[in-house]
Structures are given as C-alpha cells and as structure tokens.
C-alpha cells in the first residue's frame, strides 16, 4: 500500500473509533503519524475515566444544622445561662462593709487620766453613729494625740484628732495636704475650713487652753457642724 493511501486508511479508522459506542470506554489509542523519509512513529494518548458522581445519590449529606444541631446548642446555652443567673441570685451581696464598733469612750477616759489634757468626746450621738477606731498615742513632733473615727448613718466618715500645743507639722499630718477654703462659726468658736484633693473637709480650731482640734468629714459641712456641736470635755477614768 502506498504511503498516502496508508495515512488515509488510518485516519478513516480513527474516525470510526471515535464515533463508535466504545468512545467513552477508550483508555488507550495508538495514532501513527507518517513523515516522508522516516518510519512512522506512534504516540500514546491517555484518557482518564470520568469521576463518579458525588454523592452517589445526587444529594449532599445532611449537615449538623439541618439535623437540629444549632437549635440544640442554643437550648443548652440557655440552660447554662439560667443556672448561672440562679447561682448569682443565691449569693448574698454586701452593699457596704461596716467595721465593728470600738469603745471610744473608754479610750478617751484613759487618755484624759494619763495626760491630764481635757480631750473632747461627742456626747449624745444618735443610733447609726458607730465608733470604728480610737487610740491615744504619741504622734508627730512627740505630741500626745487622741484620735477616733465614726461612721454616720449615711455611711460617711467623721474623724476627731486633738493635742495640746500643736505644731504646724502636727496639723499638716492630720489634714493630708488640705488647703484653706474658708471659715465657719460653730459652737461659739471660729473654725478654719480646709479641703483636700479628695474634697474631704477639715475644721481646725484652737481653744483658749491651747487644745487644737481637727474634725474631718467625707459627708460635707453638715456632718462637721453636727459633730462639733456635740463635743464635750471627756471625763477621766476612775
């Protein structure tokens, strides 16, 4: 067979194979190409099979959300939140912490007896005023100092500090840097009013017997007036 006829014959065979029912199942074919002056070469053509359908049924597998997983998670979260809220409701909450009361009257009686100084004490404070601290000790510049603190019915604080022959350093220690902001007449005496950076007020006065008194208050001037008006000389312990 002549070369031209051989090429035409093989091309015809190739077309027949591609048109036949075995086209989709063909895995390997050999196609020979002829070139003048050299023997025919063969080339291999590979055709991979089509991928199988996924999923085989034509439907995607059900997700967790379609099976109710999201709803179950939401219900579980609500149950946990309800339990936490119940525990919080059962735990008692403390709005304020009150210190135990101390016997300030006994401390000032001892201070008067030991020093011979007529220290003062608030008489007739109504229910709700609680002494939370009281002491008699040597303070700044070796000054014997009587001091005590009370909480008011409103939860504020009022402090009392006294000594004889107070020095400027002693006064400065008791007012924590408060600056003079005015004066007030209370209980027949003139009091110098000072205010610190926390807006705490201090009333400072020196009596005729050189007893320096510093009254501090976090609740304002009304608490200072109320407290000073009830100060009386304390009795010495027997």
Does one domain contain both 129 and 39? no
The H or E element spanning position 13 is helix 3-19
Q: Domain boundary residue among 13, 32, 48? A: 48
- How, if at all, do strands 201-206 and 144-151 pair? unpaired
Range of the domain at 17: 1-48
Whole-number Å distance between alpha carbons of 181 and 136:
29
Any idea what the Cα angle at residue 223 is, between residues 210 and 153, rounded to 5°? Answer: 130
Does one domain contain both 120 and 2? no
Please report whether residue 28 resides in a domain.
yes
Does one domain contain both 120 and 194? yes
Please report whether residue 83 resides in a domain.
no
For residue 55, is the peptide bond before it cis, meaning its omega torsion is within 30 degrees of 0? Answer: yes
The pLDDT score that the predictor gives to residue 43 is 45
The pLDDT score that the predictor gives to residue 25 is 44
Count of domains forming the chain: 2
Exposure pattern of 18-48 as b/e (b: 16+ CB <10 Å)?
eeeeeeeeeeeeeeeeeeeeeeeeeeeeeee
Please report whether residue 59 resides in a domain.
no
Is 230 exposed, middle or buried, given 0-12, 13-18 or 19+ CB atoms closer than 10 A? middle
Model pTM? Answer: 0.60
The pLDDT score that the predictor gives to residue 52 is 63
Contact between residue 44 and residue 30 where contact means Cβ atoms under 8 Å apart: yes
The pLDDT score that the predictor gives to residue 70 is 67
Residues of the chain with pLDDT under 70: 1-70, 89-99
The pLDDT score that the predictor gives to residue 80 is 84
Does one domain contain both 217 and 122? yes
Does one domain contain both 120 and 211? yes
Q: Torsion over CA of 234, 155, 133 and 212, rounded to 10 degrees?
A: -50
Going by the DSSP 8-state scheme, the letter that residue 91 receives in this structure is S
Does one domain contain both 122 and 39? no
- For residue 224, give the CATH number of its domain: 3.30.200.100
Please report whether residue 76 resides in a domain.
no
Please report whether residue 66 resides in a domain.
no
The pLDDT score that the predictor gives to residue 65 is 53
Does one domain contain both 36 and 126? no
Please report whether residue 53 resides in a domain.
no
Please report whether residue 35 resides in a domain.
yes
Please report whether residue 170 resides in a domain.
yes
Does one domain contain both 35 and 119? no
């Amino acid at each position: 067979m002549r070369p031209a006829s051989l090429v035409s014959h093989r091309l015809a065979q190739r077309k027949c194979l591609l048109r036949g029912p075995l086209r989709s199942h063909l895995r390997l074919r050999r196609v020979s190409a002829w070139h003048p002056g050299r023997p025919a070469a063969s080339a291999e053509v590979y055709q991979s099979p089509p991928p199988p359908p996924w999923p085989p049924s034509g439907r995607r597998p059900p997700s967790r959300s379609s099976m109710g997983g999201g709803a179950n998670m939401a219900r579980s979260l609500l149950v946990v939140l309800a339990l936490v809220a119940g525990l919080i409701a059962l735990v008692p909450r403390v709005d304020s912490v009150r210190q135990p009361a101390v016997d300030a009257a006994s401390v000032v009686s001892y201070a008067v007896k030991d020093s011979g100084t007529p220290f003062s004490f608030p008489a007739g404070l109504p229910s709700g005023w609680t002494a939370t601290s009281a002491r008699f000790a040597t303070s700044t510049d070796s000054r014997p100092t009587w001091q005590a603190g009370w909480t008011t019915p409103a939860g504020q604080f009022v402090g009392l500090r006294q000594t004889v022959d107070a020095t400027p350093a002693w006064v400065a220690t008791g007012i924590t840097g408060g600056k003079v902001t005015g004066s007030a007449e209370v209980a027949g005496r003139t009091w110098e009013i000072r205010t610190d950076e926390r807006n705490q007020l201090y009333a400072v006065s020196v009596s005729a017997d050189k007893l320096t008194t510093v009254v501090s208050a976090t609740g304002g001037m009304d608490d200072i007036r109320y407290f000073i008006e009830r100060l009386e000389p304390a009795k010495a312990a027997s």
